[in-house]
Amino acid sequence: MFAYVGSRTTRERNARGDGISVYRVDTGTGALELVQLVKDLVNPSFLALSANGEHLYTVHGDLSDISAFKVDKASGKLTFLNRQSTQGKNPVHLAIDPTGRYVVVSNHIGASLAVLPIAQDGSLHEITQLVTLEGPIGPHRVEQKQAKPHFNPFDPTGQFVIVPDKGLDRVFSFRFKDGRLAPADPAFVVTRETAGPRHVAFHPNGALAYVVNELDSTVTTYRYTSSNGALTPVQIVSSLPDTYTGNSRASEIEVDPAGRFVYASNRGDDSIAVFRIDPASGHLAFVAAESTGGRTPRFMTGTPDGRFMYALNEDSDSIVAFAIDAATGRLKPTGFSVASGSPVCMVFSGHRA
């Protein structure tokens, strides 16, 4: 198995990254061995692998572009294919549709979603649809001056795209059919004021979705109706321990493969919150806040087998490995960490982000 790590690279982001790093993963210990560094890329800050593992795509944060690469499945190494415009500033997330024929991109500052077809050889065609997000902005003076879509995964059915919008305090639902996005009915759910919804993760049962809210460091549990893409909020919990009194912003969220635990990362507290999922209600119970062993964990992710988790500490330039306790969900440092400049995303071969 290989891991692909994206980074921030520009002076404007106070970044120290060099591009995309390719690691061989020791599935027994969680250790990482560098096999390739693809340099001369501007802010390859979020990555997605095709379902067959043959192609990798990256956005270029703060620009208006997305790039495609061919993956050598034997060595894990990448070969550049092409680059296309997303027609919107600061693309921050991308997701490939279940057919493998389209990629959808969130333009964070462009306040839009872009759809680009994927060619048979894995390269990207020009954009075919641009959807602008609109609505009343949230009350945060700095972060909520406009719509700010931050994430756009496909739901478990592959029929809907769910879009948390940090600027509007909304989570949008779009039906995706024949390469086109159309607002679902209902088109969105409104969050608490100044929540700043950022990312979403689905429970394996497809009936629950968990949204991490960046600005107020909370996690919202939603019932999910797969027939129309509707989200119904049922619970909100803090991602921070009761004893933490400083500033912090939540960043990433993940549900373990068995559907028993939820993890949310906190930038400021520099921790990963562990929650147990109630099997009857889907509600979350706080278990612990585990130190990430570094500063500003913008991203964290577990291996597909659920044995290990990696914290990507953007401001201390490290990737730290943890073993996951199968009984409690808690994280135990393996003792392995690797230096990596401003790491901000990690995906695994055979595993879609």
Q: What is the pLDDT of residues 324-346, one digit of tens each?
A: 999 999 999 999 999 999 999 99
Model confidence band, residue 350 (pLDDT cutoffs 50, 70, 90):
low
Residue 1: closest CA among 306, 323, 348: 348
The whole-number average pLDDT for the span 35-52 is: 97
Q: At a CB cut-off of 8 Å and minimum separation 6, what does 327 contact?
A: none
- Band of pLDDT at residue 178, cut at 50, 70 and 90: very high
The DSSP result for 86-150, as a single string, is -SSS-EEEEEE-TTSSEEEEEETTTTEEEEEEB-TTSPBPPP-EEEE---PPPS-TTT-SS--B-
Long-range CB contacts (within 8 A, 24+) of 303-306: 303/1, 303/25, 303/27, 303/30, 303/348, 303/351, 304/1, 304/257, 304/348, 304/350, 304/351, 305/27, 305/257, 306/256, 306/257, 306/258
Instruction: Determine the number of helices (DSSP H) and then strands (DSSP E) in the chain.
Output: 0, 27
pLDDT digits (tens, 9 = 90+) for 77-132: 999 999 999 999 999 999 999 999 999 999 999 999 999 999 999 999 999 999 99
Per residue in 130-176, pLDDT (tens digit) is 999 999 999 999 999 999 999 999 999 999 999 999 999 999 999 99
At 249 the three-state DSSP class reads: strand
Give me the mean pLDDT over the 300-320 stretch: 98
Residue 352 pLDDT level (bands cut at 50, 70, 90): very low
Q: Please give the Cα distance from 175 to 153 (Å, whole number).
A: 12
Predicted local confidence at residue 8, as pLDDT: 97
Residue 188 corresponds to which tokens in the numbers above?
């969105």
Token pair, residue 10, equals 């520009």
What is residue 12's three-state secondary structure?
A: helix
The burial class, CB within 10 Å (0-12 / 13-18 / 19+), for 245 is: exposed
DSSP string over 160-177: EEEEEETTTTEEEEEEEE
Number of Cβ within 10 Å of residue 332's Cβ equals 12
pLDDT tens digits, residue range 241-297?
Answer: 999 999 999 999 999 999 999 999 999 999 999 999 999 999 999 999 999 999 999
Which string of DSSP letters, residue by residue, matches 17-31? Answer: --SEEEEEE-TTT--
CB contact at 8 A, 165 and 196: no
The CA-atom distances, in angstroms, between 353 and each of 62, 254, 299, 304 are 21, 10, 12, 10
CA distances from 171 to 22, 197, 212, 233, 327 (A): 33, 7, 11, 11, 32
- Binned at pLDDT 50, 70 and 90, residue 228 comes out as very high
- Give the pLDDT score at 353: 36
Tell me which residue has tokens 């996005």.
181
